[in-house]
Structure 1
Amino acid sequence: MMENQSSIDIMSKRYSVRTFETTPIEDVHHQYIKEYINNESNLIGPFGNKSRIEYIPVINNVTDKGIKLGTYGFIKNPQAYLVGITENKTYPLIDFAYVFQKLLLQLEKFGIGNCWMGGTFSRKSFQKELVIGDGNFIPGISPIGYPRIKQRLFDKTLRKVVRADNKKSWEKLFFHHTFEMTLERNTAEKLEIPIEMVRIGPSASNKQPWRLVLSKDKTACHFYIEHTPNYSSSFGYDMQLLDMGIAMCQFHLACSEIGIDGYWVQEDPNLTLPTEQTEYLFSWKCKR
């Protein structure tokens, strides 16, 4: 149990869990999850879009309805799945990822492991279990359960393949005033920790598509995405937008924990962009 552990500690130590113990999720944790996802305020992101999160317990990957959920062999012994449902549009996807990541980090405090999945699962199998609704789809899911301490060789190999432990350095991701000036950690001052939480956050294939520009007066932080061309076109949506919602969540939770008061806005600073793949999405402004 780690209920009292800080969000920054959780984010710093978190890793994707793909092999779980066969121990069922405890009733107290089961109840917590149900209450959390039934509370509408927990499902609305910073831009006001409401997502759905469904909780599906499984035994041997089979639901109560007898439907076998498919994850292509990546996951072993999941005790349940959390399934996200939203619109296939830019800001609903970002809002979904924000609220989903916030829940996953909260579950980490109870010792419940998880693993973001945006492409390596059978959407059709999950759609058989749930009523999705017109105009919505499943952008991402997470198996959950209590992590097995001894990882499978498969897990370790997969981490190496996606370079999950090899995060890009500050100078490749973060900038000061313009994209021509890299941001030094000590220059970020009070925003150093929130920006670092973005850097270490999970992302699809560890691509880390976020690019942040700290304003000259250090009161605003502008978030850009550097799209990887054709990365997720086969899935029918831009999976890297989920990465941006995760980054947004990590940054916001860190700010809240260390007492930085601020808010999200969409106010493009109209900077000269470094590549054609770079796109402005949103900004964080510190309250004076």
Structure 2
Amino acid sequence: MDRMQIIKTRKSVRTFDGQKITDEDKEKLLNYTKTIENPYNIPVEFIILDSEKYNLSSPVIEGEDTYIAAKVAKVDHCEEAYGYSFEKIILYAWSLGIGTTWVGGTLDRPLFEKAAATRDNEYMMIVTPIGYPSKTQSKVDSALRESVKGDERLPASKLFYEHDFSTPLDHSEDSLDAVRWAPSAANRQPWRIVKDDNDYHFFLEHTIGYSSGVGWDVQKIDMGIAICHFLCVKNGNLVFDEPEIETDEYTEYIATISCE
């Protein structure tokens, strides 16, 4: 599969067939994590965790025996760097036929942090189970996917704009379509992009009343995922040069990708 196929076909998997991840696939995943970089130049460390050894589980996951966790220093833009880097391993796993899903809220966080040897100056924000997808979904899996409308995305005209927020784009070039199909917490799709010639300005439209309450912003992780998807399809440089574009109080500038 090419990158766009991987992006469009990848789905969250919460029901696994119970088969252990092969040593060969574990080695491929581990070796790949060592190659992952992000445009923020903030290191993200990945750890593969055995569920039985550390007594790890999640109430929304069934049939898993292995998790991948990641740690990042508590610095500016750590959420975006984390989301970008974590999505790289998510997409790579799917290319191998390995299922994943982002898990942030439905886990025993202190237990996972201890298993990953998380230090005081680090965040361990998200984990994913890894395994081979079951042919059938558990009831919890099906209900959760239906509740967040996991197979649906907002139209391009609600996400992408030209020059300012008063001019929606009703078409979606490949790089923007890749963003549109990115996963996000509860499928809220908080990214908004304003295209201005060869510059793509990324904004976060904060969900009113939503807070992760853990010291970091989960919707900024979503923005890192969106930037990952964009740069998987289109070459560009990440810069911080906030444009003079009028926004409301809930919309925050994140970064610009310049494709000149």
Common topology (TM > 0.5) = yes
Q: Does 1:76 align with 2:62?
A: yes
Count of residues paired in the alignment:
260
SS of residue paired to 1:83: strand
- Tell me how large the CA RMSD over aligned residues is: 1.4
Shift of residue 90 of structure 1? Answer: 4.5
- Other-structure match for 2:237: 263
Indicate the SS of the match to 1:234: coil
SS at match of 2:63: coil
What residue in structure 2 maps to residue 45 of structure 1?
38
1:276 pairs, out of 237, 249, 258, with: 249
Displacement of 1:153 in angstroms is 2.5
Match for residue 34 of structure 1 among 30, 35, 40: 30
Matched, 1:25 2:25: no
Map of 2:178 onto structure 1: 197
CA contact (8 A) 1:87 1:93 kept: no
Report SS of the residue matched to 1:53. strand
3-state SS of paired residue (1:163): coil
Whole-angstrom CA distance in 2 between matches of 1:104 and 1:195: 19
Aligned partner (choices 187, 207, 226) of residue 228 of structure 1: 207
Per the TM alignment, residue 77 of structure 1 is displaced from its structure 2 partner at its CA by 1.2
The answer (yes or no) to whether the contact 1:193–1:254 under 8 Å persists in 2 is yes
Give the counterpart of 2:11 among 9, 15, 25: 15
Instruction: Compute the displacement of 1:32 (Å).
Output: 1.1
SS at match of 1:221: strand
Amino acid at match of 2:105: G
Distance change (3 Å), C-alpha of 1:19 and 1:208: same
**2:113 and 2:104 mapped to 1: Cα distance?**
14
Of 193, 197, 213, the match for 1:212:
193
Query: 1:122: Cα distance to partner?
Result: 1.2
Deviation at 1:49, TM superposition (A): 0.6
Q: 1:231 deviation in Å?
A: 1.4
TM-score under structure 2 length normalisation: 0.95
In 1: Cα distance, 2:42 partner to 2:112 partner: 22
In structure 2, the residue corresponding to 1:114 is in which secondary structure?
coil
**Residues 223 and 230 from structure 1, CA distance in 2 versus in 1: closer, same or farther, beyond 3 angstroms?**
same
TM (normalized to structure 1)?
0.86
Please list, as runs of the form range in 1=range in 2, the aligned pairs for 1:1-288 lying within 5 A after superposition: 5-37=1-33, 39=34, 41-42=35-36, 44-58=37-51, 62-63=52-53, 67-71=54-58, 73-185=59-171, 192-215=173-196, 217=197, 219-255=198-234, 261-273=235-247, 275-287=248-260
2: CA distance, partners of 1:137 / 1:228: 22
Matched-pair contact (CA < 8 Å) for 2:203–2:252: yes
Looking at structure 2, the residues matched to 119 and 251 of structure 1 have their Cα atoms a distance apart, in angstroms, of 26
Residue 184 (structure 1) shift: 2.2
SS in 2 for 1:94: helix
Give unmatched runs, 5+ long, in structure 1.
Answer: 256-260
**Quick check: 2:61–2:141 contact (8 Å CA) kept in 1?**
no
Shift of 1:154: 2.1
Write the letter of the residue equivalent to 1:129: A
Note the C-alpha offset of 1:87.
3.1
8 A contact 1:119–1:235 mirrored in 2:
no
